[in-house]
Structure 1
Amino acid sequence: MVSSLQATPAFVRLAAHPLRWRLLTELAASDYRVRELVELVGQPQNLVSYHLRLLRGGGLVTARRSTFDARDSYYHLDLERCAHALAATGAYLHPALRLDPAPPPPPSTPAPARRPAVLFTCTGNSARSPIAEALLRHHAGGHVEVTSAGSHPRQELHPHAVRILRERHGIDLSNQRPRHLDTLAGRRFNYVISLCDKVREVCLDFGGHPRRLHWSIPDPATSGRTEAVGYPAFARTVEEIDTRIRYLLPVLTPQEVSS
């Protein structure tokens, strides 16, 4: 006979522990370093690190070395994998509860009068942050006011970013140019989302106390500009950002998505 422990789905065994659940809920909002998670959950670092290892072993959490300080790592919750794990968990309980995991749908109702304002930041504003800006605007259907900027903007958007967004999402960025964070001084945002480990440390203070989130995503431009090397790196980056954007939407517009 299979024991009750063996019959328990892996997701339930991992998520049921109170500290691991707390870590999952914190990482659902933003990528964090260990010391930041220690402060957020109020537990010793060795205990937090132990439970992070279990979550990584279960495939729910991943870690990436910081591109700003390689001594640090950022932890990230794989929401797509969580969606599949939750769907599988329902089937363990009863076959009728088997669900096909799907990303949250975009809003379908008219845009509200006061839209949430989102700023994406990275260093050069030539790849990651304009990709995120374009994808959020594309998926939000007018429900979100969105822009992007960089701490050290380049002269133009990376051609791979422009090409992939046009070919795979029908988005034209050919006339967009990188902008400096300083040009947004005085503007108010509800969310400021950094996609670059370096810019996270130097981002301006904006009025209105925006919620700051971090997505630790390596710069695909460092892989090179050649077709064989650079293009696949950009394709992976666009795919990751698109997944994050689709799971961000119901956070930004909960009333519209749930109605």
Structure 2
Amino acid sequence: MAPEPPAFVRLAAHPLRWSLLSALAGGDLRVRELVERVGEPQNLVSYHLRLLRGGGLVTATRSSFDGRDSYYHLDLGRCAGALAETGAALHPALRPETPPLPEGVAVLFVCTGNSARSPVAEALLRRRTAGKVTVTSAGSHPKAALHPGAVRVLSDEFGIDVAGQRPRHLDTVAGHRFDHVITLCDKVRETCPEFPHHPRRRHWSIPDPAGAREPGSFARTAAEIDTRVRHLLPDLPAPQDSVPQDQEARP
């Protein structure tokens, strides 16, 4: 009797579910945006999203900008584990390889206050790439200082000191070239300006830990951002795919 395909294969092999997973691989999206991406009716898209959520591949969070909306997020960590198990089930030699660190790439993280989520993402990506990626963060309405919770979690959990860093306004980086622009809050996604050289845009719908009442919110947020940063690395463009550096000064 032939063995059954792994659960990931059975779930992801459906053409529409694969299209949804592919769309969410680029960032968090709302149902209506997924409907536009895959060109299928909303009731059908919602049905298959429920199956993906039931399989643990996709999660949903309520939008902090419009509480009537939800953002769907692809759990890349779960997918990576499922893919590794799938490869090993077929042949032990099918193991994922660690991709080389990208170089010569510029990334901008954006949130509203530039006091918690975006500076945490900036610090973690800079560390994960050993400084080989130019990383900046900014806010549409920057606070006067970084949130103490963000400073503390980076120091305690990752050994990164950002105590001397100050939030910056989006206007200060408006003329710079970026290969990737990543928004981390739902509000700023609606107002983030366009940038020269058409960077790749993506959205990470992450609630503001400063507004959470339960303890450990900054630690959980930093852990989620670190997971997303790790899975961002293979998706960063190689230098030869980017706009030449002499076309615009980097920040």
Same fold? TM cut 0.5: yes
Q: Determine the C-alpha separation between the residues in 2 that align with 1:54 and 1:255.
A: 38
Alignment of 1:113-128 (within 5 A): 115-128=104-117
Q: Determine the C-alpha separation between the residues in 2 that align with 1:33 and 1:181.
A: 25
For structure 1, list consecutive stretches of 5 or more residues without a partner in the other structure. none
Measure how far apart 1:8 and its partner are: 2.3
RMSD: 2.1
User: Structure 1 residue 235 and structure 2 residue 235: aligned?
Assistant: no
- Shifted more, 78-87 versus 124-133: the winner is 78-87
2:211 corresponds to which residue? 222
2:13 corresponds to which residue? 16
Q: Determine the C-alpha separation between the residues in 2 that align with 1:16 and 1:238.
A: 32
Q: Determine the C-alpha separation between the residues in 1 that align with 2:77 and 2:220.
A: 15
Measure how far apart 1:85 and its partner are: 1.0
Q: 1:54 to 1:254 in 2, by over 3 A?
A: farther
Equivalent in 30, 49, 52 of residue 49 of structure 2:
52
Q: 1:128 to 1:40 in 2, by over 3 A?
A: same
Alignment of 1:22-171 (within 5 A): 22-94=19-91, 96-97=92-93, 99=95, 104=98, 107=101, 112=103, 115-171=104-160
Q: Determine the C-alpha separation between the residues in 1 that align with 2:115 and 2:128.
A: 20
Q: Normalized per residue, which structure has more helix?
A: 1
For structure 2, list consecutive stretches of 5 or more residues without a partner in the other structure. 241-251
Q: Determine the C-alpha separation between the residues in 2 that align with 1:255 and 1:20.
A: 32
1:252 corresponds to which residue? 236
1:189 corresponds to which residue? 178
User: Structure 1 residue 202 and structure 2 residue 169: aligned?
Assistant: no
Question: What TM-score do you get using the length of structure 2 for normalisation?
Answer: 0.89
Measure how far apart 1:255 and its partner are: 7.7
Equivalent position amino acid for 1:68 in 2: F
Equivalent in 164, 168, 177 of residue 175 of structure 1:
164
Q: Determine the C-alpha separation between the residues in 2 that align with 1:212 and 1:253.
A: 13
CA contact (8 A) 1:106 1:139 kept: no
Measure how far apart 1:167 and its partner are: 1.9
Q: 1:125 to 1:255 in 2, by over 3 A?
A: closer
| Percent of aligned pairs sharing the same letter | 68
Q: 1:92 to 1:180 in 2, by over 3 A?
A: same
Q: Secondary structure at the match of 2:190?
A: helix
Q: Secondary structure at the match of 2:26?
A: coil
Q: Secondary structure at the match of 1:202?
A: coil
Q: Determine the C-alpha separation between the residues in 1 that align with 2:210 and 2:99.
A: 30
| CA deviation string 1:141-183 (max 9, x = no partner) | 2321110011111111111111111122221101000111111
Q: Determine the C-alpha separation between the residues in 2 that align with 1:175 and 1:20.
A: 45
Q: Determine the C-alpha separation between the residues in 2 that align with 1:66 and 1:82.
A: 23
Measure how far apart 1:106 and its partner are: 6.0
Q: Determine the C-alpha separation between the residues in 2 that align with 1:208 and 1:254.
A: 16
CA contact (8 A) 2:209 2:221 kept: yes
